[in-house]
Structure 1
């Protein structure tokens, strides 16, 4: 194996991989087994999808909707990731413990596919390509969570709020979106007070970085938000 080939292969491995790409590695028979072991559940906005401490009996996949992934430590709840369409819920924790070490809450009406854990584990053992893609996906998620947590740590209000707005824009794949939470909920996601969140949104609006109309957000200057995140 020459160096040029090694470099090319290394770069390709570093490309982010989506949850849906993992399923594409399954054979027709394996896809059928997944479908036969899947239950679809509907959750309304604000409803708890998973509660920390429950037995991990299924792998959860968001077919459509939005949820937040929370972890409780020392009686304090922290949001570690926002999850949109086509996302596994807590996949990086699902194989670590017998009991689920996180909770998930729907931020809007959400459709969830619950895949039997035993079937999922057997697919990992049977299909090397599926297992490899799943590892890549989980590694990417872990990297994202670590960097998100690190960036939010010790950020001022402007930096934290900018990060959340950019994250929502990425989840919705649009610079325009409707906030899925109240101002109090937004403050909780950013780890700030309600008053400072409202004041910062108003300042961003006045500075023409974003446009705010009730719950509707339009990001006018994404680069400005990124700069605030960097310096905040």
Structure 2
């Protein structure tokens, strides 16, 4: 893992950047960010950011890239707990416990900002807009997480794809994106088999709801996908 104490090269690509800089990188707010960010971690694919039982000291904001969190059950099986993308924050679950509960591993080349927890609290106190953004992220994770496991397999995958599109492109509507994770990981997270995920994706493709080219997904009938997911009451972007 490569560490840099002050690297802002990927800041413009981070959805957290509106809270990090205003007119330019030399702004007062950007200077505040530089003070609270301890260092930047450059992770390669499959590289671990933290492990269960590591003492909680920092939260991590993803500048660019993707990570997953998981734990190992009593039988030695991996249970994926979440996926995280640019501008999202990892480590909230450790605040109460005092140590990280899951392993966090990069799904691709990833850059994260390490922010000591006390510094993060100071940052929140100085920026009400950031407070609102953080509460939104936490609420979003709780909402979609609880919803996904109360519906059918078809609904789970449809809801997952819509949520994924929204989170990969939070500031714009995008009908096409690359899957950052494997079908095996999607199935693991949704508590479905990889075979079920492949079958459902093929079914969506056959019904011309989506187009698939390897890891590239395109929504052909986004409103139908949204209807299939049954998430009209959830706060997601309209297509």
TM-score normalised to the size of structure 2? Answer: 0.73
In the other structure, the counterpart of 1:102 is 102
- What does the per-residue CA deviation read over 1:125-163, in whole Å, with 9 as the maximum and x for residues that have no partner? xxx343x44442332223212211221113222111112
Answering whether residue 220 of structure 2 is matched by residue 224 of structure 1, we say: no
- 1:172-211 pair list within 5 angstroms: 172-173=168-169, 174-211=174-211
For residues 134 and 74 of structure 1, the distance between their equivalents in structure 2, rounded to whole angstroms, comes to: 38
Measured against aligned partners, the alpha-carbon deviations of 1:29-83 in whole angstroms (never above 9, x if no partner) come to 633422xx52111112232222222111222111111122446677776544432
* 8 Å contact kept, 2:148–2:160: no
Which residue matches 1:93? 93
CA shift for structure 1 position 104 = 2.1
Unpaired segments ≥5 residues, structure 2: 1-14, 23-27, 232-239
TM-score by length of 1: 0.75
Does the 8 Å contact 2:16/2:63 carry over to 1?
no
Contact 1:164 1:189 in 2 (8 A): no
Look up the match of 1:151.
Answer: 147
More helix per residue: 1
Pairing 1:63–2:59 present? no
The answer (yes or no) to whether the contact 2:70–2:103 under 8 Å persists in 1 is yes
> Any idea what SS the aligned residue of 1:95 has?
helix
Q: Cα offset for 1:172?
A: 2.5
Shift of 1:168: 2.1
Segments of 5+ residues of structure 1 without an aligned counterpart are: 1-17
Secondary structure of 1:86's aligned partner: coil
1:126-145 alignment runs, 5 A limit: 128-130=125-127, 132-145=128-141
> In the aligned structure 2, how far is the partner of 1:52 from the partner of 1:20?
29
Distance, in Å, in 1 between the alignment partners of 2:224 and 2:74 is 35
Counterpart position of 2:120: 120
Q: Count residues with an aligned counterpart.
A: 207
Cross-structure match for 2:35 = 33
Q: Secondary structure at the match of 2:177?
A: strand
Please list the CA deviations of residues 161-217 of structure 1 after superposition, one character each: whole Å capped at 9, or x if unmatched: 112211221233232122222221221232211111111111100000001122221
Q: Aligned equivalents of 2:46 and 2:78: distance in 1?
A: 16
Secondary structure (helix, strand or coil) at the match of 1:177 reads: strand
Answer with 1 or 2: which has the greater Rg: 1
1:151 and 1:170 map into 2 onto residues whose CA distance is 16
Is residue 20–residue 30 contact of structure 2 (8 Å, CA) maintained in 1? no
Q: Does residue 165 of structure 1 match 2:161?
A: yes
